[in-house]
Amino acid sequence: MLRPLIVSFREGVAYRAKGNLLWLLHRISGLGIVVFLGFHIFGMSMAAFNPALHERALELYKTPPFAIGELLLAFLLIFHAVNGTRIAILELRPQLWEKQELATRLSLIITALLTAPTLAIMAYKSISHFLAH
């Protein structure tokens, strides 16, 4: 089951093309979000099945490595959403294929514009939390 995933990542890294890099990042961000969701659902379900473990997980989420992970997650979410929208539009309107380089640039700019303030606010809140404790 994992073979297609491993093969496509291995070949994806070996192949040098512009579109390929975006595809790789899209896949990595998608995988990252799925892994986070898995952890999140598991962690939340522990509130019902194992409250002590749930409390420990909440404490763990407040540590610096998880704060950095949250920043990374925010970037992956925004990139995946914006790039996914670009792909969906080009899928539905094949006539726009000539604009695909422009669309790629636009999606990267929108990702940067949305990511910068989000990460700034999150980083500010995390740093404030760590300084207060």
Contacting residues toward other proteins, per CB under 8 A: 4-5, 7-8, 11-12, 14-20, 22-23, 87, 90-95, 97, 100
* Rounded alpha-carbon distances, angstroms, from residue 129 to 14, 35, 59, 95, 132: 42, 26, 13, 50, 5
Which residues are CB-neighbours of 30 under 8 A, at least 6 positions away? 80
Nearest approach in angstroms of CB 14 to other proteins is 7
Q: Which is nearer to other proteins, 95 or 117 (CB)?
A: 95
Closest separation between CB of residue 72 and other proteins, Å?
A: 23
Which CB, 22 or 33, lies closer to other proteins? 22
Tell me the CB-side half-sphere exposure of residue 85, using CA atoms within 13 A. 11
Which C-beta is closer to other proteins: that of 30 or that of 69?
A: 30
